Chains A and B, each alone.
Chain A
Amino acid sequence: MNLNRTLLALLLAFSLLSLGFGAAPLTLREVIAGLFGVGNEPQQLIIQQIRLPRVVLAWLVGAALGAAGAALQGLLRNPLAEPGLLGISASAGFGAVLALYFGATTLSLWLLPTVAMGFALLATALLYALTRVGSTNLTLILAGVALSALAGALTSLALNLAPNPADLQDIVLWLLGSISDRSFDDVRLCAPFVIIGLALLFSTAPALDVLALGEDEARTLGVDVVQIRGLIIIGAALAVGATVAVSGTIGFVGLVVPHVLRRFVAYRPGQLLLPSALGGAVLVLAADVTVRLIDTPKELMLGVVTALLGAPFFLALVLRSRRDLL
């Protein structure tokens, strides 16, 4: 499809830009040489050990958030559904904080993403239960607000009781969301879950199209609504939970990307999944490059920037659909 090709091209362009850009600017030729392991050694190291993990992480985080947003919107038949707004990211963040600062990570490295995904799963399932019957925008957002507040409160409680107060600033900064200073260890930690999660989400695409007719008619067309719901809840929880575990919470990607791309797939919710994954990756990558471009005394956190751009966008969306909300 043309749209997907365009997004792939954009993704490639931003990836090369991100690899070349930094304290030691590299030319395109040097970037490509570094990627293929030729050329001068320090440059190879910069590319492969420092910048490439960051780029790959941006792909994973963006694809996970974009696809999860699109899939949740299709399932709930609501354009305001988004992992961040609905408290799924916040719940995963709470799980990660629990695992991180109560020492669980010393038991096993995998415990961090596992706990984060577990809480994301819990939040998504709870959310679905809350909004199942007559999900209007209002009930959905209220449920999301409630969940976010709960996850936020529990996170605060965990911070409050954290055994080592010196770590507090680190936790808070980490929660803001960033993909800087990450290594391939982080990529390895989240990639399998993101890939499985995306596969689960993509498998629901044809059914999501049919779900536009409402659950009853979709069921009579042979769609197993219970199964689709399960696949999306588990897929979104795996993908979002795993990325939150390595990058903190990065909001609004899942809201903005499907919204912008929807018109290019003729508003069909199933067709929106793949472009949203690609578009999410492009957006996170672009935002990450922007974060590094802006010269601030302390490096801006990616999650802060996406929230600063995403929140007004969300407001505009609400404004436009306020008749529906009231």
Chain B
Amino acid sequence: MNLLNVSACSVQIGEHTLVQPLSLRLAAGELLGLIGPNGAGKSTLIKAIAQLLPYRGTMQLQNAAMETLTAQQRARQLAYLSQNDPVHWPIAVQDLVSLGRHPFRGSWWRGAGQLSAADDAAVETALRVTDVWALRQRRFTELSGGERARVRLARVLAVNAPLLLADEPFAALDPRHQLQVMALLREQCQRGASVILVLHNLTLASRFCDRLLLLNQGKLVASGTPSAVLNAENLRRVYGIEAVTGEHAQQRYLVPWMCATD
């Protein structure tokens, strides 16, 4: 069974078609990478899947048409991490991560501070796996870029949604934390969640993603396993680069090496 079915979806804003009609299926437990050069439409596509942009075509989440779900039902099944929406107040890390439990609140008059035991457990797990448990009393605005990125990821994980959408969660992360985040997303897949990830880092994409969608100027250029998508031809044509590939511990690696000469 597919967790997510996207068929013939396109995104148009005004005159511009940002994403040409494309279809994709996402199985439970799958880690799908959206790659492509700047302006390829990756963020637009992931926003459309998050129901943040109007689109044409149909989307199904766990066999239910997206538009038949209430906002709360959708919020429980789909968690979205935006690329760079700043947090606007010096809110404590723990309070911030607890906002991920918003879709599970009862009526609106239930105080925001009151979380159920299940909520508390989800928040604690999210804080621990992202390695920010020790920071939980700190104010978000006092944190370093890397810490902020992990706290925002913790907020998304706290939802415990079957579908995770993350738009470039690595931007401010050092290599260790980049690897940590990828491992974390893989773990989410192992517990049955599916992840769609926008990323620029082709080395991480080829190593950790089950499948890649390569977009260029709003068009789906290639999709499949990392080794199939990230071939020399696509890299040259879409990115204008050449890469070094090799094998380490029976895994293929890829490092962008130089601009292609044509």
Most buried by B among A217, A268, A270: A217
Q: Is A220 an interface residue (CB 8 A)?
A: yes
Among A78, A207, A210, A214, the residue within 8 A (CB) of B82 is A214
Complex contacts, B89 vs chain A, CB 8 Å: 77, 212, 262, 267-269
* Complex CA distance for A267 and B91, rounded to whole angstroms: 5
In the complex, per-residue mask of A19-59: 1 if CB is within 8 Å of any chain B CB, else 0: 00000000000000000000000000000000000000000
Question: B72 and A220: CB pair below 8 A?
Answer: no
- Which chain B residues in 42-77 approach chain A with CB under 8 Å? 47, 50-52, 71-72, 74-76
Which residues of chain A from 204 to 228 have a CB within 8 Å of any chain B CB? 205-207, 209-210, 212-217, 219-224
Docked complex Cα distance between A205 and B111 (Å):
9
Closest A residue to B156 by CB, please name it.
A217
Query: Which of B75, B88, B113 is A222 in contact with, Cβ under 8 Å?
Result: B75
A266 within 8 A of B: yes
Among residues 174 to 223 in chain A, which have CB atoms less than 8 Å away from a CB atom of chain B? 203, 205-207, 209-210, 212-217, 219-223
Contact with A along B146-170 (1 / 0, CB 8 A): 0000000001000100000100000
Task: Name the residue on A nearest B79 (C-beta).
Answer: A220
Determine whether the beta carbon of A220 is less than 8 Å from that of B108: no
How far is A40 from B165 in the complex, measured between Cα atoms in Å? 72
> Given that A212-B87, A268-B91 are contacting pairs, would A221 and B102 also be in contact in the complex, using a CB cutoff of 8 Å?
yes
Count chain B residues whose beta carbon lies closer than 8 angstroms to a beta carbon of A: 37
B29 within 8 A of A: no
B71 to chain A, nearest CB (A): 4
Once the chains bind, are A210 and B80 in contact (CB under 8 Å)? Answer: no
Q: Do residues A267 and B103 form an inter-chain contact, with CB atoms below 8 A?
A: no
Q: Is B92 in contact with chain A by the CB < 8 A criterion?
A: yes
Which stretch from B1-9, B93-101, B119-127, B254-262 is at the chain A interface? B93-101
For the complex, give the distance between the alpha carbons of A207 and B80 in Å. 17
- Given A212-B99, A219-B52 in contact, is the A206-B108 Cβ separation under 8 Å? yes
**Residue A271 at the chain B interface, CB threshold 8 Å:** yes
Q: Does B175 contact A (CB under 8 A)?
A: no
B95 adjacent to A220 (CB under 8 Å):
no
Complex Cα gap A77–B141 (Å): 14
- Within the complex, the shortest CB–CB distance from B10 to chain A, in Å, comes to 20
Are the CB atoms of B88 and A220 closer together than 8 Å? no
Q: Tell me the count of chain A residues lying within 8 A, CB to CB, of chain B.
A: 27
Q: State the CA gap A219–B103 with chains docked (Å).
A: 11
Q: Say whether, besides A206-B112, A221-B75, A222-B72, A213 and B105 are in contact (CB < 8 Å).
A: no
Flag if A214 contacts B91 (CB, 8 Å): no
Q: Which residue of A lies closest to B72 (CB)?
A: A222
- Cβ-defined partner of A217 (8 Å) among B71, B85, B110, B113: B85
Establish whether residues B95 and A268, one from each chain, have CB atoms under 8 Å apart when the complex forms.
yes
* Cross-chain contact of B71 among A213, A224, A267 (Cβ < 8 A): A224
**A216 contacts B80, C-beta separation under 8 Å:** yes
Note all chain B residues with C-beta closer than 8 A to A219: 51-52
**Cα distance, A66 to B128, chains bound together (Å):** 38
Residue of A nearest to B47 (CB): A216
A266 x B78 contact (CB < 8 A): no
Given contacts A222-B103, A267-B91, contact A214 B85 (CB under 8 A): yes
The one of A203, A207, A213 that contacts B87, using a Cβ cutoff of 8 Å: A213
Contact with B along A267-284 (1 / 0, CB 8 A): 111110000000000000
Closest-CB distance, A209 to chain B (whole angstroms):
5
Judge whether B80 and A217 touch: CB under 8 Å: yes
Cβ of B103 to closest chain A Cβ, rounded Å: 5
Q: Which residue of A205, A206, A224 is within 8 Å of B102 (Cβ)?
A: A206
Are the C-beta atoms of A267 and B90 separated by less than 8 Å? Answer: yes
Closest to A204 in B: B108
| Pair A221/B113 contact, Cβ less than 8 Å | no
Contact partners of B99 in chain A: CB under 8 A: 209-210, 212-213, 221
Query: B200 within 8 Å of A by Cβ?
Result: no
Bound Cα distance A18, B132 (Å) = 50
- Say whether B108 contacts A266, CB under 8 Å: no
In the bound assembly, the distance between CA atoms of A203 and B82 in angstroms comes to: 26
Complex Cα spacing A77 to B85, Å: 12
- The contact string, 1 if C-beta is below 8 Å from chain B, for chain A 145-178, is 0000000000000000000000000000000000
A-B contact pairs, 26 of them (CB 8 A): A207-B108, A209-B112, A212-B87, A212-B88, A213-B87, A214-B86, A216-B50, A216-B82, A216-B85, A217-B80, A220-B51, A220-B52, A220-B78, A220-B79, A220-B165, A221-B103, A221-B159, A222-B71, A222-B72, A223-B102, A266-B95, A267-B91, A267-B92, A268-B91, A269-B89, A271-B113
Given A214-B82, A266-B95, 6 extra CB contacts under 8 A: A210-B102, A216-B47, A216-B50, A217-B85, A219-B51, A221-B103
